[in-house]
């Protein structure tokens, strides 16, 4: 497993070393940071973050006043891959990055993969150069997902292959290109990472990290259909951090549901990751594209707020707040936020906005946690948390009271 060591070689804390574990570590002078450097008066409250996930370590400036420089080059809000020996300058502090595992860059991996003969095509699966496709592990309306092994290093990966029939239209091509662009720009330990992409057999594929724990849906199913608060709360803390990151980067997911939450690890070391970003879209331009027709409703209406059902093209971060609140509600109760009477139109029920309060389903739920989820599920966007960041802050306040 890759080990990261950060040493401060200049500044008030010169000589001090840090070894962040998997996940995200925030550096700054604020008390809420993971690494607090209060003595450096030129550092912002939340200056930069370092995220370790998969085989890469990335740094992202958090909008600091004086900026962050890597090897004397200023970096922006887009994540930058760090390598062994890199120097990071923030405020008056200079950090040396140490990584004890050599890593190929994604470009190098793709170049090597393209030079490898295509493996034998498995039954029903695609032949993709550089990968041994083993078995189908999932499918949806637009794509199939296979477990595969990368020939360069025998790493287990997930390969998502778009349906050739879906790829025949111009709209479908734009949708796939949008997904790939989105995945390349988003990097967080609680988002499923894109490792590679390309074209094969008249379709497009994406190679992603493999999560052996399956979906939140199946995980809850193995536990009788729902999770205890002790099981659910840590997972949703992770998911909220990922959602806050997505919204800061200018994206809405638009299809958050238990089947799109993947798990990795086991026991107390389970990591939750948001997957299937194929419907994600920059909210600055939401409503300006014709990719999604006015009558085309994607996603699952059981986990969609009424404003999204009514107007799928003009979706804001508050829609994701509702959806993740619905996922949390479902995980705790084993039920959906709405009641769906026999014969009722699901879209009509979703449009009505009528949600059963959490404690009506689960009387034992802590009052503050129930209030938190019920607010997230407000029918009016203005009554919810504004975005993932505000929702995460409120969630931390709830936890601090217990």
pLDDT for residue 124 is more than 50: yes
Query: What pLDDT is attached to residue 387?
Result: 96
Q: Is residue 319 packed enough to be buried (19+ CB in 10 Å), middle (13-18) or exposed (0-12)?
A: buried
Q: Write out the two tokens for 352.
A: 């009505």
For residue range 127-157, list pLDDT tens digits in order.
888 999 999 988 766 678 999 999 988 889 9
Query: What pLDDT is attached to residue 260?
Result: 92
Query: What pLDDT is attached to residue 301?
Result: 79
Please report which confidence band the pLDDT of residue 184 belongs to, taking 50, 70 and 90 as the band edges.
confident
Task: Please state the separation of Cα 236 from the chain's center in Å.
Answer: 12
Q: Helices 388-400 & 317-333, crossing angle to 10 degrees? A: 40
Query: What does the H/E/C string look like for 354-375?
Result: CCCCHHHHCCCCCHHHHHHHHH
Instruction: List residues with catalytic annotation.
Output: 255
pLDDT for residue 101 is more than 70: no
- β-pair partners for 197: 206
Query: What pLDDT is attached to residue 171?
Result: 65
Q: Rounded to whole angstroms, how far apart are CA atoms 120 and 118?
A: 7
**Mean model confidence pLDDT for the chain:** 82
Strand ranges (DSSP E) for 224-377?
251-252, 261-264, 271-274, 281-282
177 touches 184 (CB < 8 A): no
Q: Write out the two tokens for 288.
A: 């300006």
Domains annotated for the chain, with CATH where assigned, are 2-101 (2.60.200.20), 131-209 (3.30.200.20), 214-400 (1.10.510.10)
Place of tokens 């790829």: 167
Query: What pLDDT is attached to residue 295?
Result: 38
Question: Mean pLDDT, to the nearest integer, of 197-201?
Answer: 76
- β-pair partners for 262: 215, 273
304 touches 319 (CB < 8 A): yes
Least trusted range by pLDDT, from 55-64, 85-94, 228-237, 343-352: 343-352
Q: Write out the two tokens for 75.
A: 């970096």
Please report which confidence band the pLDDT of residue 379 belongs to, taking 50, 70 and 90 as the band edges.
very high
Question: Mean pLDDT, to the nearest integer, of 387-398?
Answer: 96
Q: Rounded to whole angstroms, how far apart are CA atoms 177 and 204?
A: 9
For residue range 19-65, list pLDDT tens digits in order.
876 778 889 888 778 788 888 889 999 999 998 766 788 899 998 99
Residues 6+ positions from 321 with CB-CB distance below 8 Å: 243, 376, 384, 385, 386, 387, 388, 391
Query: What pLDDT is attached to residue 5?
Result: 86
Q: Rounded to whole angstroms, how far apart are CA atoms 137 and 159?
A: 10
92 touches 11 (CB < 8 A): yes
195 touches 157 (CB < 8 A): yes
**With the C-alpha atoms ordered 128, 132, 136, 140, is the resulting torsion angle positive or negative?**
negative
334 touches 224 (CB < 8 A): yes
Query: What pLDDT is attached to residue 399?
Result: 94
Query: What pLDDT is attached to residue 294?
Result: 38
Least trusted range by pLDDT, from 51-55, 57-61, 236-240, 317-321: 51-55
Question: Mean pLDDT, to the nearest integer, of 236-251?
Answer: 92
Phi, psi of 4 (to 5 degrees): -110, 130
């Amino acid at each position: 497993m890759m080990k990261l060591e950060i040493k401060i070689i200049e500044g008030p804390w010169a000589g001090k070393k840090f070894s962040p574990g998997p996940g995200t570590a925030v550096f700054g002078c604020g008390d809420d940071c993971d690494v607090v450097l209060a003595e450096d008066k030129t550092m912002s409250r939340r200056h930069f973050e370092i995220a370790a996930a998969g085989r890469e370590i990335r740094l992202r400036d958090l909008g600091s006043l004086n900026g962050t420089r890597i090897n004397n080059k200023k970096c922006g809000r887009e994540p930058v891959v760090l390598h062994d020996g890199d120097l990071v300058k923030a405020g008056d502090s200079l950090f040396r990055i140490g990584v004890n595992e050599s890593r190929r860059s994604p470009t190098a991996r793709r170049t090597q993969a393209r030079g490898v003969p295509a493996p034998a095509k498995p039954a029903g699966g695609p032949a993709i150069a550089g990968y041994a496709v083993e078995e189908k592990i999932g499918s949806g309306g637009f794509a199939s997902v296979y477990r595969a092994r990368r020939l360069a290093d025998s790493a287990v990966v997930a390969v998502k292959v778009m349906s050739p029939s879906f790829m025949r239209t111009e709209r479908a091509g734009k949708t796939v290109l949008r997904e790939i662009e989105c995945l390349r720009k988003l990097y967080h330990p609680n988002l499923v990472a894109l490792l590679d992409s390309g074209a094969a057999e008249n379709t497009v594929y994406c190679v992603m990290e493999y999560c052996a724990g399956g979906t939140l849906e199946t995980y809850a199913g193995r536990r009788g259909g729902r999770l205890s608060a002790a099981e659910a709360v840590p997972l949703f803390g992770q998911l909220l951090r990922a959602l806050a990151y997505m919204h800061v980067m200018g994206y809405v997911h638009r299809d958050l549901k238990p089947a799109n939450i993947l798990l990795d690890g086991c026991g107390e070391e389970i990591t939750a990751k948001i997957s299937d970003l194929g419907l994600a879209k920059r909210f600055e331009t939401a409503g300006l594209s014709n990719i999604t027709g006015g009558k085309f409703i994607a996603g699952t209406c059981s986990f969609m707020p009424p404003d999204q059902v009514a107007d799928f093209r003009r979706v804001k971060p508050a829609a994701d707040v509702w959806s993740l609140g619905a996922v949390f509600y479902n995980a705790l109760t084993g039920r959906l936020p709405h009641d769906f009477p026999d014969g009722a139109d699901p879209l009509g029920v979703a449009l009505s906005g009528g949600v059963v309060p959490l404690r009506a389903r689960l009387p034992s739920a802590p009052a503050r946690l129930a209030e938190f989820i019920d607010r997230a599920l407000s029918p009016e966007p203005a009554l919810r948390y504004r975005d993932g960041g505000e929702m995460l802050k409120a969630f931390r306040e709830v936890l601090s009271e217990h």
